[in-house]
Amino acid sequence: MTKSGGLGDNFYSGGYDLSGDIGSVDKVQGGHKPIEVTGINKLAPERIGGVRDASMSWKAFFNTAVGAAHPVLSALPTADVVATYCRGTTLGSPCASLVAKQINYDGNRSGSGEFVFSVDAEANSYGLEWGVLLTAGLRTDTAATNGASIDTTASAAFGAQAYLQVTAFTGTDVTIKIQDSADNVSFADVAGLTFTAVTAAPFTQRVATGNTATIRRYLRAVTTTSGGVTSVTFAVHVTKNDVAGVVF
φ, ψ of residue 138 to 5 degrees: the values are -85, 130
pTM above 0.85, yes or no: yes
Task: Kindly report the number of other CB atoms within 10 A of residue 27's CB atom.
Answer: 12
Domain locations in the chain?
10-129, 131-240
Q: Helix, strand, coil: what percent of the chain each, to 5? A: 5, 50, 45
Per-residue pLDDT of the chain (248 residues), as tens digits, is 588 899 999 999 999 999 999 999 999 999 988 999 999 999 999 999 899 899 999 999 999 999 999 999 999 999 999 999 999 999 999 999 999 999 999 999 999 999 999 999 999 999 999 999 999 999 999 999 999 999 999 999 999 999 999 999 999 999 999 999 999 999 999 999 999 999 999 999 999 999 999 999 999 999 999 999 999 999 999 999 999 988 77
Q: What span, in angstroms and rounded, lies between the C-alpha atoms of 187 and 183?
A: 8
CATH fold label, 10-129: Elongation Factor Tu (Ef-tu); domain 3 (2.40.30)
CATH architecture of the region 131-240: Sandwich (2.60)
Query: Could you tell me where the DSSP H helices lie in 53-113?
Result: 69-73
What are the residues whose beta carbons fall under 8 Å from the beta carbon of 113, sequence distance 6 or more?
none
Rounded-to-integer distance, Cα 84 and Cα 131, Å:
10
